[in-house]
Amino acid sequence: MTDEVRAAAEAMYTAFNAHDHEAAHDIFTADFYSHPLGTTGPGSIALRWKQMHETFPELRVTVEDMVVEGDTAAVRTSLRGVPGQAPTMMEIFRVRDGRIAELWGLSSMGR
């Protein structure tokens, strides 16, 4: 399970950095739920990624730390490409059948 969870995380960050918004449909479950956004489905993530890249075209995420246990990962990341900021994020997500099913997160963007 650990390798499957790590692979899902790496796929998410790779797709985000490549501006591959449609990959969200392969990375997230159909019933995916984002606690920070209060949205469901991979389409909600694809839309959010698109909005973020329209606002910050150079935005990239770098994984600083990842801890995986069972079906859950906790990931600390840094973001580049946000003018005047060096934001960080902390995300926790649960993987089911190789896809991200649920996500919690905090970001320092805009602070």
One-letter identity of residue 81: G
Distance of CA 61 to the CA centre of its chain: 9
Integer-rounded Cα Rg, in Å, for the chain is: 13
Q: Render pLDDT for 55-103 as a digit per residue (tens, 0 to 9).
A: 999 999 999 999 999 999 999 999 999 999 889 999 999 999 999 999 9
Report whether 99 contacts 29 (CB < 8 A).
Answer: yes
Report d(CA 91, CA 55) in Å as an integer. Answer: 21
Q: How many residues are given for the chain?
A: 111
Show the domain range for 77. 2-107
Q: Render pLDDT for 24-67 as a digit per residue (tens, 0 to 9).
A: 999 999 999 999 999 999 999 999 999 999 999 999 999 999 99
- Structurally, how many domains does the chain consist of? 1
The CATH number assigned to the domain holding 69 equals: 3.10.450.50
